[in-house]
């Protein structure tokens, strides 16, 4: 009889670990794609989820879902009517917004539209009649064009799954630079409050709370059959994705409100403190890519009624200016004999916080120093030591030459 091959427990464990890592990677990719959804698509997705009969049943019949409002949110803005007119209305701009990320797609799509025709291409996008190989062959796309086209199709199909519906009325895919105003900051006494610009904003609704304990008890009591439980679990994952995006955006605004409070109070850009996306990610304990995707194409209205993109509050140039001042202080103190060793990155970090109220990690200081092409403290000390030795030798030589001439 043929012997049955058995995997060793150690090999099996490694296989399980690889599977877990792969699943985590898939989860991060899916979250990244979801965070990158344009704001209008995200709103449509929320409406689709909340309009699902299963959502209604889970919330009002099973009582498994509730909502918890975010703190520091003012649901009624004093200028809500005026600001609502500023908010872009939902449009079928998903193709243009995808192209905005990669303008090369526009040329390729127009070529495809000319060759296969608008109607045929529309059917292809929605998975009818023709497949991608036929498009590539018929339009004679190069390998580079094929890669760009496939990336576009992948992004389009992802959004087709997440959003309720998409339509392609024509092939006029002109990219649009659009910024979505999502909230205003308003002064209420000594406090700054976040005022969403729409009455049904997800910032007003807050975060979905899922009662997993009750869900488990209902399964044990067989009030929910296993097939139904699996469907509900998948639905909970959708709510979790929505929670992670809304929470990320809310936390970004809250942190900016605290960090840049002087700017929001005065409106003076000179009061804007240096801040990087990496530093905010460290404070929020998330990946920097989460910050980048969360703030993309979004803006807020300041208390001075000025619209500012969220990216405006991440000002790198000022960090380098402050670092330059610190290095100038180091140079002056060494020349005056007050300082005998160059500032380490940790010392620079503490000086920035003490003198300029700027909080940066030691790694961020090191990163900026390298960008400014300034050597490490060890290397600066080494250069200084060589310079001192050379100056000392020159002085000894000059003294010896004077002595010889005197003789």
Q: What is the 3-state secondary structure (H, E, C) of the chain?
A: CCCCCCCCHHHHHHHHHHHHHHHHHHHHHHHHHHHCCCHHHHHHHHHHHHHCHHHHHHHHHCCCEEEECCCCECCCCCCHHHHHCCCCCCCCCHHHHHHHHCCHHHHHHHHHHHHHCHHHHHHHHCCCCCCHHHHHHHHCCCHHHHHHHHHHHHHHHHHHHHCCCCCCCCCCCCCCCCCEEEEEEEEECCEEEEEECCCCCHHHHCEEEECHHHHHHHHHCCCCCHHHHHHHHHHHHHHHHHHHHHHHHHHHHHHHHHHCHHHHHHCCHHHCCCCCHHHHHHHHCCCHHHHHHHHCCEEEECCCCCEEEHHHHCCCHHHHHHHHHHHHHHHHHHHCCCCCCCCCHHHHHHHHHHHHCCCCCHHHHHHHHHHCCCCCHHHHHHHHHHHHHHHHHHHHHHHHHHHHHHC
| Per-domain residue ranges of the chain | 317-406
Rounded Cα–Cα distance for residues 248 and 207 (Å): 11
Range of lowest pLDDT (92-101, 110-119, 134-143): 92-101
Range of lowest pLDDT (26-35, 55-64, 221-230, 373-382): 26-35
Q: What is the pLDDT of residue 236?
A: 92
Q: What is the pLDDT of residue 106?
A: 72
Rounded Cα–Cα distance for residues 298 and 42 (Å): 13
Average pLDDT on 182-188 reads 90
Q: What is the pLDDT of residue 133?
A: 79
With contact defined as beta carbons under 8 Å apart, do 381 and 342 qualify? yes
Q: What is the pLDDT of residue 299?
A: 92
| Residue scoring higher pLDDT (250 or 101) | 250
Burial of 352 (0-12, 13-18, 19+ CB in 10 A): buried
Label residue 88 by pLDDT band (50, 70, 90). very low
| Residue scoring higher pLDDT (401 or 235) | 235
Q: What is the pLDDT of residue 126?
A: 59
Range of lowest pLDDT (12-16, 111-115, 119-123, 241-245): 12-16
pLDDT exceeds cutoff 90 at 52:
yes
% of the chain at pLDDT higher than 90: 24
Q: What is the pLDDT of residue 407?
A: 47
Rounded Cα–Cα distance for residues 136 and 146 (Å): 7
Average pLDDT on 66-72 reads 91
Farthest-apart Cα atoms in the chain, separation: 112
Q: Quick count: other Cβ atoms within 10 Å of Cβ 62?
A: 16
From the list 209, 210, 186, the residue with the least C-alpha distance to 197 is 186
- Which of 57-61, 139-143, 335-339 shows the highest mean pLDDT? 57-61
Tokens found for residue 106: 């526009």
Average pLDDT on 130-145 reads 80
Q: What is the pLDDT of residue 80?
A: 41
Q: What is the pLDDT of residue 363?
A: 82
Tokens found for residue 312: 């405006």
Q: What is the pLDDT of residue 362?
A: 84
Q: What is the pLDDT of residue 206?
A: 92
pLDDT exceeds cutoff 80 at 102:
no
pLDDT exceeds cutoff 70 at 405:
no
pLDDT exceeds cutoff 70 at 196:
yes
Rounded Cα–Cα distance for residues 95 and 167 (Å): 9
CA 5 to chain centre: 47
Average pLDDT on 94-106 reads 56
Q: What is the pLDDT of residue 218?
A: 93
pTM over 0.85: no
Q: What is the pLDDT of residue 36?
A: 84
Label residue 157 by pLDDT band (50, 70, 90). low
Q: What is the pLDDT of residue 135?
A: 80
Q: What is the pLDDT of residue 137?
A: 83
Q: What is the pLDDT of residue 197?
A: 86
């Amino acid at each position: 009889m043929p012997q049955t091959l058995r995997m060793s427990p150690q090999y099996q464990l490694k296989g399980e670990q690889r599977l877990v890592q792969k699943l985590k990677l898939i989860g991060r990719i899916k979250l990244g794609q979801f965070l990158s959804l344009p704001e209008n698509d995200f709103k449509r997705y929320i409406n689709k989820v909340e309009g699902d009969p299963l959502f209604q049943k889970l919330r009002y019949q099973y009582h498994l879902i509730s909502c918890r409002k975010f703190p520091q949110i003012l649901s009624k803005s004093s200028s809500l009517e005026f600001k609502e007119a500023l908010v872009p209305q939902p449009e079928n701009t998903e193709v243009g917004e995808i192209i905005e990320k990669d303008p090369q797609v526009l040329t390729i799509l127009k070529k495809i539209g000319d060759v296969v025709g608008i109607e045929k291409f529309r059917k292809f996008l929605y998975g009818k009649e023709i497949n991608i190989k036929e498009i590539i062959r018929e339009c004679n796309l190069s390998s580079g064009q094929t890669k760009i086209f496939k990336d576009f199709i992948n992004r389009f199909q992802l959004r087709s799954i997440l959003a309720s519906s998409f339509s392609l009325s024509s092939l006029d895919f002109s990219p649009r630079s659009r910024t979505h105003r999502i909230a205003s900051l308003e002064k209420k006494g000594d406090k700054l409050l976040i005022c969403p610009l729409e009455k049904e904003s997800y910032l007003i609704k807050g975060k979905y709370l899922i009662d997993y304990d009750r869900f488990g008890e209902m399964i044990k009591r067989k009030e929910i059959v296993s097939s139904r439980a699996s469907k509900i679990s998948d639905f909970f994952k959708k709510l979790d994705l929505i929670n992670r995006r809304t929470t990320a955006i809310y936390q970004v605004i809250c942190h900016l409100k605290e960090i840049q409070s002087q700017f929001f109070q005065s409106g003076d850009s000179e009061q804007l403190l240096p801040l990087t996306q990496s530093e905010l990610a460290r404070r929020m304990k998330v990946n920097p890519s989460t910050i980048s995707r969360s703030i993309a194409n979004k803006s807020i209205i300041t208390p001075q009624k000025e619209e500012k993109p969220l990216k405006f509050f991440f000002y790198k140039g000022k960090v380098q200016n402050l670092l330059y001042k610190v290095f100038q202080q180091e140079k002056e103190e060494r020349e005056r004999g007050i300082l005998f060793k160059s500032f380490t990155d940790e010392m620079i970090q503490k000086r920035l916080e003490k003198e300029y109220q700027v909080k940066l990690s030691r790694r961020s200081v090191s990163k900026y120093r390298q960008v400014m092409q300034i050597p490490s403290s060890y290397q600066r000390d080494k250069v200084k030591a060589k310079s001192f030795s050379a100056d000392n030798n020159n002085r000894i030589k000059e003294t010896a030459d004077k002595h010889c001439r005197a003789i």
